[in-house]
Structure 1
């Protein structure tokens, strides 16, 4: 079962124009996550996860597992590494539940929503 990191590439934090003109914070975070993700963790970009007040936003999903939306990330290498680390732990879990003690420090305080898996019937 493939775990996906979906990255909002339109997220803009305050002052984004001065950090990387012509590139949103979401695009910057997406590039960092794509570079950090191993082959078994898939990534995709989407224009708007509708969490603008919580940007930068990502979702971690896999068929038949709990899915999570996380936000309030800076577009920085340490954030990307924590996101990928959590996604790897999600991939190893049968249900998508990662015990709190195993959460990377960089994702703590960033969870926005949790979604149950879609029904199979």
Structure 2
């Protein structure tokens, strides 16, 4: 099953300056995640304007049909974070319910979890 990484492209970390920075921190993270996900058949990426986690920028969500959703934030935009996010997304894709054992978490995502959202109940 495919897991989708949704990246907030409007995130601005503390200290972001519109006069000196042509891209938001979210755009930089999105570019890095998209590059890291190239060739990963079990992971898709998409950008979204504002995940409403401004106090936690840069924010992403890891999602798949019928699986737990994870929201993560406080990333430094760059390849190290991006590679960890994609690795976690691949483990999420390979899992039955979206839960990845702590011992398998990439170092780059540890300490970045903001929330876990349960799956929607099956229709009655």
Same fold (TM over 0.5): yes
TM range (shorter): over 0.9
Kindly state the Cα deviation for residue 39 of structure 1 after the two structures are TM-superposed. 3.1
Flag structure 1 segments of 5+ consecutive residues without an equivalent.
none
Q: Runs of 4 or more off by more than 3 Å in structure 1?
A: none
Kindly state the Cα deviation for residue 16 of structure 1 after the two structures are TM-superposed. 2.4
Q: Deviations over 1:15-34 (max 9, x none)?
A: 2237x722000000000000
Q: Distance in 2 between matches of 1:39 and 1:16?
A: 34
TM-score of the pair, normalised by structure 1? 0.95
Q: Deviations over 1:62-90 (max 9, x none)?
A: 00000100000000110000000000000
- The answer on 1:79 being equivalent to 2:81 is yes
Q: Distance in 2 between matches of 1:29 and 1:17?
A: 16
TM-score of the pair, normalised by structure 2? 0.93
